[in-house]
């Protein structure tokens, strides 16, 4: 037994067929028998967050569903969790790599690919709080880490912690191609201003779009924004 409970839901995203998503049953789930999560700084309170569907992730998936699929374009989702946006892009034929640092993310992604009869998708270990080593594509645990440059780097609800060392901005800068776009869906977190400054220090200019939505009978209200970054000379 895995030590945690799950559920399955049909998730509708405009522009693609519904996706069957296996997620954790609730935020009370936790299982780290070998201490894999603890070793990389994931506490018991943070452990279940990867396995939930979040409103910001749904907004990112909806936006990617509207983006034309371009030949040769490489897309990276960082902090993907259940990787809803990556699954949407993959279903539409985009070249997507999903990444996260949680030790169970890859297994949940593989199961959700199976549930939707989708072919394998690239997955990489991506932990921007740990410097990547140019001489190896594997971390100390032997996991394949994020490598190379991407034309679209996307993520949702990533600014939940203060990042005094600008590790997220540095990670993005390392993997952004010269003409890359960066999409961050943010539910109005307080760390947004600092992140904008850190990205600006690396030559990225920003524009934003409000994503506010009033509550409807079957849809919760949402307040947030899409932050779009491009290098100044792109």
Domain boundaries, the chain: 51-231
Strand, coil or helix: what is 168?
A: helix
Residues 6+ apart with CB under 8 A from 69: 89, 92, 93, 94
**DSSP state letters, 36-97:** HHHHTT--TTTGGGGGS--HHHHHHHHHHHTSPP-TT-EEEESS-TT-HHHHHHHHTT-EEE
Residues 6+ apart with CB under 8 A from 170: 128, 202
The per-residue pLDDT for 55 is 95
* pLDDT one-digit tens code per residue, 92-141: 999 999 999 999 999 999 999 999 999 999 999 998 987 655 555 677 67
Burial class (CB in 10 A: 0-12, 13-18, 19+), 160: middle
Strand, coil or helix: what is 21?
A: strand
Q: Rounded distance, CA 224 to CA 186, Å?
A: 6
Query: What average pLDDT does the segment 1-22 reach?
Result: 93
Task: Return the residue matching tokens 């992730």.
Answer: 57
Q: Which of 188, 186, 189, 180 is nearest to 226 (CA)?
A: 186
Q: Which CATH class is domain 51-231?
A: alpha beta
**With pLDDT > 70 as the criterion, what percentage of the chain qualifies?**
96
Residue 115 host element (H or E): helix 105-115
The per-residue pLDDT for 209 is 96
The per-residue pLDDT for 234 is 61
pTM of the full structure: 0.94
The per-residue pLDDT for 67 is 96
The per-residue pLDDT for 220 is 86
Q: Which of 153, 218, 210 is nearest to 183 (CA)?
A: 153
Beta strands (DSSP E) in 111-197 are: 122-125, 150-156, 176-186
Q: Rounded distance, CA 204 to CA 200, Å?
A: 5
Residue 227 host element (H or E): strand 225-231
Q: Rounded distance, CA 217 to CA 202, Å?
A: 43
């Amino acid at each position: 037994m895995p030590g945690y409970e799950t559920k399955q839901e049909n998730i509708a995203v405009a522009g693609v067929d519904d996706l069957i998503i296996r997620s954790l049953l609730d935020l009370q789930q936790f299982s780290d028998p070998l201490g894999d999560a603890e070793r990389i700084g994931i506490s018991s309170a943070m452990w279940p967050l990867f396995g939930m569907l979040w409103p910001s992730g749904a907004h990112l998936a909806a936006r990617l569903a509207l983006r034309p699929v371009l030949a040769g374009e490489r897309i990276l989702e960082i902090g993907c969790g259940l990787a809803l946006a990556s699954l949407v892009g993959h279903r539409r034929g985009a070249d997507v790599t999903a990444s996260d640092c949680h030790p169970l993310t890859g297994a949940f992604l593989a199961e959700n690919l199976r549930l939707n009869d989708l072919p394998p998708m690239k997955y990489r270990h991506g932990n921007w709080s740990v410097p990547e080593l140019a001489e190896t594509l594997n971390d100390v645990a032997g996991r394949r880490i994020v490598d190379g440059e991407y034309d679209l780097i996307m993520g949702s609800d990533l600014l939940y912690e203060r990042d005094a060392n600008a590790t997220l901005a540095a990670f993005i800068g390392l993997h952004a191609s010269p003409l890359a776009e960066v999409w961050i869906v943010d539910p109005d977190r307080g760390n947004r201003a600092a992140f904008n400054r850190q990205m600006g220090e690396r030559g990225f200019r920003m524009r934003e779009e409000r994503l506010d939505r009033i509550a409807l009978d079957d849809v919760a209200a949402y307040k947030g924004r899409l932050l779009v970054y491009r290098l100044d000379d792109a």
